[in-house]
């Protein structure tokens, strides 16, 4: 299995290389050269099996000979051992034909744990064998950073530095980054906003002497291994609802398009998915694109579902690549236009291709709050604001197939929005009930490249 760039100019890589590299050298994103297909019988045989066993069967064809079967089973077992629910991604019924897939039982209460826990173990196994270490630096508005720190803490082949905007993440998010005490993880509170964090991160990657000197690696959502990990719960939930004998629909609260793109891969692998519904909040570039074909940047308006507050959606490039029949040159041109002109128009043919696989909807702030209230009253289920965006849009797309809405975070991670809607502060799960008592460890850093690089150089374990 080889991985090629969406912009067609970077060398093809193995799974291991694509995972350790992240972004391709031509600025593109890695995608599998061909998408393996599972037979109907193979899909039917997943019914009733554990999440870990389904994960092994679904991901195995993508990893080539990066890991032996025994190694890979071991990696998967370690990745999901710390989850607080035996099913890992349990389904809850909301209505006659509407189900919620709860993806928030991992250690940091958001779906990002599914991918981050797995790639933590994959990095460790691959690097230990190569006798190498890497330095991971990430920027976060909350969920990615806490998932990364939690996943990589204590792994001896990796140092992790997470930049977050000082004073601009929720208290739960901050504490999840600052309370792990392993010496290889470092929470850095930067004097600036999230865009400053991302800009300094980009600067570090563009400083090649620094980048090579500390062996910088990225684990942001464009990393192919993260997308792959997310394919699994489409299979586990569809099979539980009768696939491959029944067609199942999915609605996905979307920001950078990583989670829903995993659904597209599942469909291409042969899982009978009917609709794949993109649910956006008021930052609706993806919904506007699906409606009109115009992919145009507008400023970000901060919302109560902050993990979906995006101006451009990085993984959408992968969907475009397939919609444009794997024409790397066309993608490179569109991405250049996005950078220089702030947007582009999707061609008629590509838009039609996108509409064959995806539909979309948008949810306002008021609708988000009203949905949290209505669901609590109708079912007792307390939704986080991101999951509420999904449920609202899913309700507009219910049809004959079972609909699965992905619940991307636990309500306790976003207590302000939830208490605004239902008047209660959702409690943290028992296993982390002492989060507010644990001691914090954080370094305040200036918005300055040289100072950040000096700190990273000084702290890494040589």
Ligand X SMILES: *Cc1c(COP(=O)(O)O)cnc(C)c1O
* Residues annotated as part of the active site: 112
Q: Which of 147, 205, 139, 202 is nearest to 168 (CA)?
A: 139
Contacts of 430 (CB under 8 A, 6+ apart): none
- Beta carbon of residue 267, minimum distance to ligand X (angstroms, whole number): 16
Under rule CB under 6 A, residue 145 binds ligand X: no
The only residue of 121, 176, 179, 254 in contact with ligand X, by rule CB under 6 A:
254
The only residue of 66, 236, 307, 371 in contact with ligand X, by rule CB under 6 A:
307
- Beta carbon of residue 190, minimum distance to ligand X (angstroms, whole number): 20
Contacts of 68 (CB under 8 A, 6+ apart): none
- Beta carbon of residue 287, minimum distance to ligand X (angstroms, whole number): 13
Under rule CB under 6 A, residue 453 binds ligand X: no
Footprint of ligand X on 82-141 (CB under 6 A): 110, 112
The only residue of 76, 265, 409, 445 in contact with ligand X, by rule CB under 6 A:
409
- Beta carbon of residue 410, minimum distance to ligand X (angstroms, whole number): 9
The only residue of 295, 408, 411, 428 in contact with ligand X, by rule CB under 6 A:
408
The only residue of 5, 198, 221, 251 in contact with ligand X, by rule CB under 6 A:
221
- If binding means CB under 6 A, how many residues of this protein chain bind ligand X? 16
Under rule CB under 6 A, residue 257 binds ligand X: yes
Q: Which is nearer to ligand X, 394 or 456 (CB)?
A: 394
Under rule CB under 6 A, residue 7 binds ligand X: no
Vertex 183 angle, CA 181 and 189, to 5° = 70
Footprint of ligand X on 314-333 (CB under 6 A): none
Under rule CB under 6 A, residue 51 binds ligand X: no
The only residue of 113, 143, 159, 284 in contact with ligand X, by rule CB under 6 A:
143
Under rule CB under 6 A, residue 253 binds ligand X: yes
User: Which region, judged by CB under 6 A, interacts with ligand X, from 207-215, 257-265, 329-337, 439-447?
Assistant: 257-265
The only residue of 98, 267, 386, 397 in contact with ligand X, by rule CB under 6 A:
386
- Beta carbon of residue 356, minimum distance to ligand X (angstroms, whole number): 20
Residue 349 backbone phi and psi in degrees, to 5: -65, -45
Under rule CB under 6 A, residue 256 binds ligand X: yes
C-beta separation of 368 from 417 below 8 A: yes
Q: Which is nearer to ligand X, 216 or 252 (CB)?
A: 252
Under rule CB under 6 A, residue 258 binds ligand X: yes
- Beta carbon of residue 363, minimum distance to ligand X (angstroms, whole number): 12
Q: Which is nearer to ligand X, 94 or 409 (CB)?
A: 409
Q: Which is nearer to ligand X, 308 or 372 (CB)?
A: 308
Q: Which is nearer to ligand X, 221 or 334 (CB)?
A: 221
- Beta carbon of residue 348, minimum distance to ligand X (angstroms, whole number): 26
Q: Which is nearer to ligand X, 140 or 179 (CB)?
A: 140
User: Which region, judged by CB under 6 A, interacts with ligand X, from 83-91, 149-157, 247-255, 351-359?
Assistant: 247-255
Neighbouring C-alpha atoms within 13 Å toward the C-beta of 134:
21
Q: Which is nearer to ligand X, 331 or 409 (CB)?
A: 409
Q: Which is nearer to ligand X, 66 or 387 (CB)?
A: 387
Positions in the binding site for ligand X (CB under 6 A): 110, 112, 143, 221, 253-259, 307-308, 386, 408-409
């Amino acid at each position: 299995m080889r991985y090629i760039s969406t912009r067609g100019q970077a060398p093809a890589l193995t799974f291991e290389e694509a995972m350790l590299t992240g972004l391709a050298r031509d600025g593109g994103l890695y995608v599998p050269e061909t998408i393996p297909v599972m037979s109907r019988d193979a899909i039917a045989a997943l019914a009733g099996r554990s999440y870990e066993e389904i994960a092994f069967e679904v991901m195995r064809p993508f990893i080539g000979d990066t890991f032996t079967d025994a190694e890979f089973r071991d990696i998967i077992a370690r990745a999901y051992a710390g989850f607080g629910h035996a099913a890992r991604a349990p389904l809850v019924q909301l209505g006659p034909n509407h189900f919620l897939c709860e993806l928030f039982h991992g250690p940091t209460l958001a779906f990002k744990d599914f991918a981050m826990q797995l790639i933590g173990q994959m990095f460790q196994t691959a690097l230990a064998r190569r006798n190498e270490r890497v330095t991971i630096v990430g920027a976060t508005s909350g969920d990615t950073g806490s998932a990364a720190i939690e996943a990589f803490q204590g792994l001896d082949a990796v140092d992790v530095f997470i930049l977050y905007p000082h004073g601009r993440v929720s208290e739960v998010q901050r504490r999840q980054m600052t309370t792990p005490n392993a010496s290889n993880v470092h929470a850095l509170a930067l004097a600036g906003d999230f865009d400053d964090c991302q800009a300094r991160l980009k600067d570090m990657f563009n400083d090649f002497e620094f980048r090579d000197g500390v062996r910088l690696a990225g684990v942001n959502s464009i990393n192919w291994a993260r997308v792959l990990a997310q394919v699994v719960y489409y299979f586990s939930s569809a099979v539980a609802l009768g696939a491959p004998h029944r067609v199942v629909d999915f609605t996905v609260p979307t920001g950078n398009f990583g989670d829903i793109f995993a659904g597209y891969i599942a469909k291409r692998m042969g899982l009978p998915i009917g609709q794949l519904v993109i649910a956006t909040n008021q930052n609706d570039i993806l919904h506007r694109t699906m409606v009109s074909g115009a992919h145009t940047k507008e400023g970000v308006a901060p919302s109560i579902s902050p993990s979906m507050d995006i101006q451009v959606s990085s993984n959408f490039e992968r969907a475009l690549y397939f919609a444009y029949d794997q024409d790397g040159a066309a993608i490179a041109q569109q991405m250049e236009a996005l950078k220089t002109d702030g947007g582009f128009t999707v061609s008629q043919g590509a838009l039609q291709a996108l509409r064959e696989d995806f539909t979309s909807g948008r949810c306002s702030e008021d609708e988000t709050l009203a949905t949290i209230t209505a669901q609590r009253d109708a079912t007792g289920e307390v939704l986080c604001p991101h999951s509420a965006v999904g449920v609202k849009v899913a309700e507009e797309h219910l049809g004959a197939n079972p609909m699965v809405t992905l619940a991307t975070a636990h309500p306790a991670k976003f207590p302000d929005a939830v208490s605004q809607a239902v008047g209660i502060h959702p409690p943290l799960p028992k296993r982390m009930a002492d989060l507010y008592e644990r001691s914090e460890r954080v370094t305040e850093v200036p918005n300055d490249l040289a100072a950040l690089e000096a700190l990273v150089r000084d702290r890494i374990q040589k």
